[in-house]
Amino acid sequence: MDGVDAALIETDGDGITAFGATVEQAYAAGFRDQLRALMGAAPTDDAATRATTRELTLIHAGVVAKLLESAQLRASDIGVIGFHGQTVFHDPARGMTCQIGDGALLAEQTGIRVVNDFRSADVAAGGEGAPLAPVYHVALARTLARPVAILNIGGVANVTWISPDGGAVAFDTGPGNALIDDWVRTRTNQTMDVDGQLARRGRIDEIALGRLLAQPYFDRPYPKSLDRDSFSVDAIGHLSPADGAATLAAFTAQAVARAAAQLPAPPLQWLVCGGGRHNRVLMSQLRSALDGPVEPVEAVGWRGDALEAQAFAFLAVRALYGLPISYPQTTGVAKPTCGGVTHLPPGSR
């Protein structure tokens, strides 16, 4: 819920032939509050949801305009926009996932074809609906020594493990930044633990950490996925802000270590993307908890802050060509599954 990342890539849905400009735009604090009000419950078609969905979409349209201006391109130069939207509810066990965002409105506002609603088809077919970035990770990692693990630490953390022959398994490892962000927001005047500065001043409460790690999710076999609100901070409610931040960072790192024990083989290296790689305490804890080198994805020349945006551009092209975006070994769906809904701008065909 921090904002919008946008990125340009050139792709045929199989390989990536060029990387282009990127832009970022943070949400205003008031809009974050609007999004937060929708979290955790199956959405309804009420006025508040419609208004927030429209505002979210118009913010994305503005970011697209900024990206085109930065790259000195016109709308007609772009083949498709991959528009993920904002996840507000994810419960695949009940066959439900919801990402708000109006694909038809974005196509109208930008004059560019849009693909959105990437997760619903997978969930409807019995999959977890997440993670979806692994097919892009596999395309990126073709030149790397393998097996390799790509760890994305967003609100939730997920791992893609890629075998020497290019096969992949993937699943959500546990919490990412969401619990830390919520903890910091409710106990300080900050919205996140910038660079892990708060956690650096704290001590890990091992008893509370043990309670957090005792949750049954971590023993479930993959594929598996989480909602950002799947875990609670009740076990650390008695801690100081600094000790709580340190304990939650340790929770994220130890959950990844538990996930590592489930992988088919130890990776030669861990490459970390997502906002969590900026948290120095969390990165230090990951290096202590995991075997093998742990580095941000910039170590292999990837753009960590743009990776998710690039991934959904890649998935949008695959959707146009009818190529699968999820697989049994990444989401648990019964067979490779296409996804996404295409929206054309008015007057096009």
Q: Is pLDDT above 90 for 347?
A: no
What is the tens place of the pLDDT at every residue in 179-202?
Answer: 999 999 999 999 999 999 999 999
Mean pLDDT score of the chain: 96
Chain-centroid distance of CA 331 in Å reads 14
Q: Which domains does the chain have, with CATH numbers?
A: 3-129+324-343 (3.30.420.40), 134-301 (3.30.420.40)
Question: pLDDT tens across 98-129, in order?
Answer: 999 999 999 999 999 999 999 999 999 999 99
Q: pLDDT band for 40, please (50, 70, 90 cuts).
A: confident
Q: What pLDDT sits at residue 43?
A: 72
Enter the pTM of the model: 0.94
* pLDDT single digits (tens) 188-242: 999 999 999 999 999 999 999 999 999 999 999 999 999 888 999 999 999 999 9
